Amino acid sequence: MARKELAKAYEPWDVEAKWEKHWEEDKTFSPDPDAPGDAYSIVIPPPNVTGVLHMGHALNLTLQDILCRFNRQQGKNVLWVPGTDHAGIATQNVVERQLKAEGLTRHDLGREKFIERVWEWKKEKGDHILSQIRSMGASVDWTRECFTFDEQRAKAVRQVFVKLYEEGLVYKGDYIINWCNRCHTALADDEVEHEAKPGHLHHVKYPLADGSGHLIVATTRPETMLADTAIAVNPEDDRFNQLIGKEAVLPLVGRKLPIIGDAYVDVEFGTGCLKVTPAHDMNDWEIGIRHELEVISVLDEDGIINENGPEKYQGMDVLTARKAILADLEAEGFLEEIVEHDHSVGVCYRCKSVIEPHVSTQWFVSMKPLAEKARAAVPAETQIFPEHWTKTYYDWLDNIRDWCISRQIWWGHRIPAWTCEKCGELTVSIEDPSACSACGSKNIVQEEDVLDTWFSSALWPFSTMGWPDDTKELARYYPTSCLITGFDILFFWVARMMMMGLQFMEQVPFHHVYIHALVRDEKGKKMSKSTGNVIDPLDMIAKYGADALRFTLTSFAAMGRDIKLSEQRIEGYKHFMNKIWNATRFAMMNLPDEIPAVELNAADSLADTWILHRLEEVKREIKAATLEYRFNDIAQTLYKFIWSEFCDWYLEMIKPVLYGEDAEAKAVTQKVLWTVLSETMQLLHPVTPFITQEIWSALPRPAGDDRSEDIATLPFPAMRDDLLDHDVVSRMDLFMGVVSGTRNIRTELLIEPAKKLDLLIKTVDNDDRAVLEDNVDLIKSLARIDNVTIGPKVKAPKASGAAVVRGNEISVPLEGVVDFDAELARLDKNLAKLEKTMKGVAGKLKNPGFVNNAPEAVVEGEKKKLAEMEEEKTKLTQLKERLESVMA
């Protein structure tokens, strides 16, 4: 078979497309449940079908892929399930916007036709995110792709809903919910985002019914006072507790309100008196339940004052009503004062409209019984990494409220409940009923609402394995091994999956949860389109390749630490990919078509024994870092080993052997070179799958090596304890110190690279002397030295560049090599020029007119320029001092 040649330059795009297609068509990552090996499974956090790949997705996919590819190398039977979420509200909004452009609404189409329209959109546009996942090189099993709204997941959703209903954990009732006037649907508590916004505290007088005075109530929302049904004070507040049991009069309305005592009232906030509006505030709702208060709602589902408000305000929206009510309060002498007050405002996570607490008949899950199990399982059965997220998880579960699961939209799992129009009986059933379960009437109507998208997502770890059917996948791969996700869905998703897994599988859904950090811009700011600092992963893949992006994200993925990302860093790791490619090309030019059949323990040169020892150490470091989720250590260990040790030192050290005439020594080194290169590709493969696959497929093999051409199927490189040689590290450190020290003298004193020098080494003991004498030719070659003198009595001339390596004194005679007077004159000239430029920049930065009026980027640029010049001045000054010391 003809030997495969690597292209002169690494162009990732053709390589990535080729191997991505190969892996999918070959079903490389489609495991057989009956195959041997311990099970290892991951379910992908399903991205919304409306979504596009962002940097958080890219990080998440990279980390999951590292774990899956690494565990395949460990001989495990690995399943990584891909899929998408039907994203009820978001997807419906997308299609409704399309209809609006056509002058239509969903109601013009009707429910059935509208759902058909959404499915059409999904088939046309909804799989874009999956092709983007493919571009990242994710080793998922595409044959088991799932969708939260496909037939099997629908079957699971119905089963769960009905079982929870039969167990009394799902119920229907009136409750205060988060309502989005724009999306026209209820939202769960964790679907509400809170934003700090400037506002006002309006101090309003509420007259006492007996005419003995008034109470002043502070409110941020005067329009809701129309629905007040009480005033609350703290029973411990001596200012007001004597009024408990009396009544006040609601301004503008005239309704009498009981004055009640409740410990919820904060005596320090506002005036210490709280208007209680059960229909329009979550906390007031709870107070209303405790005191059996009347519930009056004055806002309809569009945020308009309804028939329960005074006729004057009916038909007004919230802001219009607020303005009118404040004007009337002031005109009638009820408005005491208005104070500026910043407060937290809840907004819809989808459309960002202000959320309106709203009393409505909805479907709920009773959460406390489920939450207790989920809390007890951490960390006994499930560990969260980093550990500090465990407290956040506990806090949410300890303060959990019942989960509102009904949504007033059409795209989603329709609630499997039917009401009989004859007797009013509710029938909840897995299969669609044909008649009322109570009276047998055929006149039954299904609920219009659909289930919260997170309801189907909560079943993901077991529904993707085929539940409620008894499948091989469910028996083999559940519970899953690890979940990798962002902190922002710890409550939305992670906790709910824990609850549902424990409830229906009687096991936790995953053993480990790794919460990855946030990817920020290079200044540490959150990426957003509005600030224009978004780095698009698809753009980065197009410019630098997927491997460069993956390696960048991995190298900064330190546990619990946000990533500061810049395009320059991704470009830098593209250079690393080029370094790997070029090193491989050099190796392949010096390797025969068939690798020599020599034993690795035959290696006895400093270079070969050292690199084999380091390879063994790197294997152990990579394995430990992966098992401990220290992803950044994986990347940094490989980077140092490949770039600094393998490329910069080992390849340079073995050139004399590869170019020499000693066939036996060459064969040993070729075997070591091939071993280190091939096994390094295996170690690197989970992080950068494409370049390693391309290189592996081109490498020559020893005779009888019939391993697969597909590196993704190879095991983790075997550990060879017999190649560990800790003594060689000491010898190599000495060698590297002498070469680097000599190079530094050349660099610091600005000696031309081509200038041959002499080197004197005064050694401290015979062991160090022996190491240096054994490798004297290499020292000459790498440090560009003509003559080397080694021994305990070596003396350096006065005019010498000097350094010390582990007590050994190295010196380079400089007489005749450096023109000291000329160099000092040149340095003085450069320092004077630099100081003049620095003075100009410093003066500009001291000028308030420039600092205050110039664009921020320009000012920062000048500061950076000054800092760079100060650093350059320090280097030139140090060099001058060094020359002067040598002359002395």
Which residue ranges are tagged as binding site for ATP?
529
**Burial category of 382 from C-beta neighbours within 10 Å (exposed 0-12, middle 13-18, buried 19 and up):** buried
- Residues 612/606, Cβ–Cβ less than 8 Å: no
Chain mean position to CA 42? 16
DSSP output for 293-344 = ------B-TTSBB-TTS-GGGTT-BHHHHHHHHHHHHHHTT-EEEEEEEEEE
DSSP assignment letter at 721 = G
Q: Report the C-alpha gap between 549 and 518 in whole angstroms.
A: 16
Of 316, 319, 324, 304, residue with least CA distance to 252: 324
198/203 Cα distance (integer angstroms): 17
- Pseudo-torsion of CA 450, 451, 454, 457, nearest 10°? -100
Report the C-alpha gap between 596 and 581 in whole angstroms: 23
Structure tokens at 820: 């000291």
Say if residues 355 and 348 touch (Cβ distance below 8 Å).
yes
The dihedral over CA atoms of 586, 587, 589, 591, expressed in degrees to the nearest 10, equals: 170
Q: From 521, 497, 523, 531, select the one nearest 511 (Cα to Cα).
A: 497
Which strand (E) or helix (H) includes residue 827?
A: helix 820-846
H/E run at residue 43: strand 39-43
Token digits for 124? Answer: 């046309």
Could you give the CA distance from residue 767 to residue 344 in angstroms, rounded to a whole number?
71
Alpha carbons 148 and 711: distance in angstroms, whole number:
33
- Which phi and psi (to 5°) does residue 631 adopt? -65, -40
* d(C-alpha 216, C-alpha 207), whole Å: 9
Q: Which ranges of 78-218 would DSSP assign to H, the alpha helix?
A: 88-101, 106-109, 111-125, 128-135, 151-166
DSSP assignment of 609-651: HHHHHHHHHHHHHHHHHHHTT-HHHHHHHHHIIIIIIIIIIIH
* Cα torsion through 618, 623, 624, 630, rounded to 10: 90
Q: What is the dihedral of CA 573, 578, 579, 584, to 10 degrees?
A: 140
How many angstroms separate the CA atoms of 481 and 50, rounded?
28
Q: Which residues contact 662 (CB under 8 A, 6 or more apart)?
A: none
694: enclosing H helix or E strand: helix 689-698
Measured CA distances, 796 to 95, 783, 811 (Å): 83, 18, 6
* Binding site as annotated, residues: 529
CA distance 162 to 414: 13
d(CA 54, CA 543): 16
Amino acid in position 454: W
The separation between CA 139 and the C-alpha centre of its own chain, rounded to angstroms, equals 18
